[in-house]
Amino acid sequence: MAFTTFLHINIRGIRANKQELIQLLKEKDISIASINETLLSKTSRIQIPGYNIIRKERQTGHGGGVAILIRKNIEYSQMDHDLTSEQLKGNEYVTIKAKIHSHHFITITSVYCPPGIKPSADLLTAASNTNCSLIMGDFNAKHINFYCNKTNSSGTALQQILNNNKLSVINTNEPTYISPATDQFLRNIKYNKIKQINRK
């Protein structure tokens, strides 16, 4: 059975880092990618060869923005959780339902929580309310259970949401932050080859 490969990345500007992103997608053979901090405006145009782009720009102000890249040969549809701004609490998201195998569908949500903004329980509960869900994002949350050296308030809030919804973290025991002092452009990067994801 062929693997479906996922990537999450906080790119800090998808247009500025487009060529590096294209190279990464090719090297890791990525099927579906979650992108945070795209920094696109509503009038921005961008194409990634071989992928459809489903995106949402920040509604007010600059920065932020989320997107999902999905290979053009994968069937999908965009979803909306119909949440109010009060429920979102500053969280940004985009969700799709993708057909990853002949009879298997998965709901994929890309979430970005800006610094100082706690994860939205309403959003993550809605995003996980399917038989097979994958939530990827930069939550700016630190918790010792996420292999961080310390815990912050966003990390405590996220851990509580995970517990309440019986969600599991898919991560290595390595930090996901790369210092700006390095010559790498990635802030958060993970990829996993998986056959099926089950919500417990």
Residues 90-109 have pLDDT tens digits of: 999 999 999 988 888 999 99
Q: CATH number for the domain including 10?
A: 3.60.10.10
Beta-sheet pairing, 104-112 with 133-138: parallel
**Closest Cα partner for 4 from 80, 102, 86, 88?**
102
Low-confidence ranges of the chain (pLDDT < 70): 1-2, 172-200
In this predicted structure, what is the pLDDT of residue 33?
Answer: 97
The pTM assigned to this predicted structure is: 0.87
Q: How many helices (H) and strands (E) does the chain have?
A: 4, 9
- Residue 87 belongs to what domain range? 4-172+181-192
Per-residue pLDDT at 175: 56
How many domains does the structure of the chain reveal? 1
Which of the 8 DSSP states describes residue 118?
P
Is the distance from CB of 178 to CB of 186 less than 8 angstroms? yes
Q: Is residue 198 part of a domain?
A: no
Residue 150 domain-assigned (yes or no) = yes
Does residue 197 form part of some domain? no
Classify residue 15: in a domain, yes or no: yes
